[in-house]
Structure 1
């Protein structure tokens, strides 16, 4: 019946429990989310008290920022609270820890409902700005799924939040909770979680795979702990290497640090491990804001030793898995393998061993695709025109690609695969660093870009492009007054780099012999101007690059009539600028982003990856292939092997 009165939606009393999924039904997930809330509130300690039986009290106490009553009503009582929109993506710290920084876990405001996993109502005590607020939260039916049943505020010092309830369902296990929380938050020594008064030291962690002493730089020592964080927790904020100096986290954990890439963080196996490296010898080598290390010889030595340790453990972890993967791939291709000669099978075995050793994380599908391509190559041995010839083919030249591959041997393929692996690693590093505003283009991005001219097109993928004395002299004479002195380490070894305010500039060139004089003159010039990570390219940047080309064209300092290609590279560009600009008949300025370069590079390598697989992996016994070939097999109607 319509009486003209509008009515909003109504909620059942158990609406939240039924719709929140694991947060309201799994004790492990609920407690992890509540601790993550404390992390986001800048807490340094979280104490959890779990009962041994139903109808007893559960308590979660932290020393984070806390909330005023108004803050609680605005945040806690808002369904679907968007933390990033209202508070940003970083954790909020209390006054005495405001110098710290950590990314927040919270995104959609559901973790705060974790207490509903254990009871239909709970109590919140929270302190901030000289007051303490005590609130009773209950689930209800009707217009609201939950509400404040009671609220009292009094004056009180300090900060922090305490949640408590009397458990009526989903009784949690203290040992399991302790293991899970230790796994998820182990990367930061300044965030300590205890369960019933106990916490798990790193050396006693259930997922500890390896513990080792690392000696670096004239006898300095560090302790390394290699932990499988998925032993207890399916989701962690970080994977990678976490460096602790004096029991404080330096920067953020990751699979690259200090210019060293420890592992490809995109792989499945890399996403389950955390490596903690503890030392008390590097205080003088840490940046003042603790966001990273200085580029000292001692830090470089540590990074080198950590890289060796990480790769050693990953090889060990992958050995058994890779043996089974290779055996399965050989069985899948048993019929084709049996048709190869003894020498051909030996070459293919060497090929697979090399591929799997280069990357111990290869999947069955990728290895199978590589073996299929290698078998085809082995059947059509020929000459060795490698990656340069491949990248010179257009995307549409499929016949040219097939004709080129038919000339390759397995050994040729190994050379190409190594080069592809190196280039993909560079692309991954550029993609990661270019979006980071803290990334230093001079020391991080410039070495990657300048040494990888193939990113700008096949025409630049040549050893003929070298640092040219005449060109470098012209660059320094024309623009040297604007350069920042002392910014390049070992500057005499890198005369091709000019460090300018907010950017860096470098130039390389090719030469040819002048037909009249018989002397070498410059024929092509490649100028690269890099912006810092996360920086936008604006109109001034394009004008500056145009001025560089015009000044060089008119300077009279360069012999010959070279063409100039200048690239201005940044994280993004203003929509108001020209993306390409001609400078006379011999100059061109082009605006590109780091991501465009990476996408273009991957596109150029796509057909090769399609033939020989994208990534590769670890080693195994030479006898394995022979044993698999010796196994009986039977072809099915669809051509596969039974």
Structure 2
């Protein structure tokens, strides 16, 4: 109690603290009801339904003038009107005693469930103007108010009482109206308005709507429908299927969700990530499924009835209905799809005839799945699919292999059998793939090194990046990668002598007569985390015709020292610098060692000899046995015409 007294003493005076409302408060509070004419007018009609009216008259001035919606419902007394319009998040169900609509006295009626829950529908007229008037009649009272959007921010709107007077107790109903300035507001077409209202409410003989004295035909579900029900959490979901005229109204195709006899959102064929059928399919243009969602709690509906909130209950409901619709569409389309498949089988008769029954069944099942997922797929696409599948099935069932073996000489079959006894297919494939890559690399090196105009940057240096195994067996199981950071250290050392190369390969250093690549291999600590380099490789490629001398060996040593100075490489990390060229001066032929740094000069022809040796001279053997010249698929990447990196003197 003492704590409450202290809080009361610390209360901020009213003149120092005030609540206020932002300009867009109503937009956030009522959503599309105050921004979209389609939602606004439907909400106003729904209010008439909730008021227990049997006749609703709408005056819709397309060219400007008075827009009004009047009903013969129960109406409101002065106190009810001022109370409801002064309270936000008005709980209609609690305040008015339940979900059943109340009707005027002496008006015959059946049971009617209300749409409203929280009172946002009363703001709908703000979609058309910043002010509107409301007249209502109930229990011998007539009340007339004007509602105007407030510009002060102290409240969303002002309610001004224009008139309040006694009337005959037999009068009842409400009219809400505003003036439309055609220069500022363009109303939707009257015909479209009538269609819109008719599509949103199910036909009820006790509820009639008129637009400019034209009767609105509500959605009639009493005929031309087939009824289904599916199990859901121990209850039943009622679903209706309607076949309409093709292309008559695309807004009436798909799955329509109805709640309490009112449409939720617009019909569609699923969400953006769950498309049941392409809306362009002929049958999709004629079909409408109506799913009754009354089984779920009304709190799952958005305030403006534009859709459902994504809750577990809604997702389960949608999945159950989507599964039913998919199965129903599959049954409806079965005969059409089967005719297409038979046509495709006939077109591929020769390829399919030799397949075993199991393979044929696999193709049938696959095509059925494709047609189910892609209902619009055409015959031509299916024919191509079957052609590919037939080839795959042949290969998978061994027919292609059997045809090759049938053409073998008996000695070749014995050799193949011996290979398969000593090797698994996967092992043989891995070894042959690696060997093929190395042979291609060696062949490419050979061609480039014979060309004095070879572009070391674009051609040689990338090949060495994947061909360090040429230098020795210690590079076989170690993963070396091109290191841009270390290359930058050397580039900074060379300063102005390095050529611009940022857009091509920034991990290489380009000089006027050479190119430099730096490759590193990481070492790891006890926690298997990288903590240093286990080895650094520097590869400098000299232009063909430039001899390697002691000065250039010293330059390579300078690169290694600079890497140490940068502190990016520890003192104990081995650094090996290969200086490669077409010629070496006699006094520069020996390897130079300084601590853990080795400078190794080498001629290109020696490198090629090592490469051939390490691939067991297989290129020559292949050429001799097959009587062919070895060509590489790498030519597709590098091209047969080599560019020029160095300007010729």
TM (norm. structure 2) is 0.37
TM (norm. structure 1) is 0.38
CA radius of gyration, larger in: 2
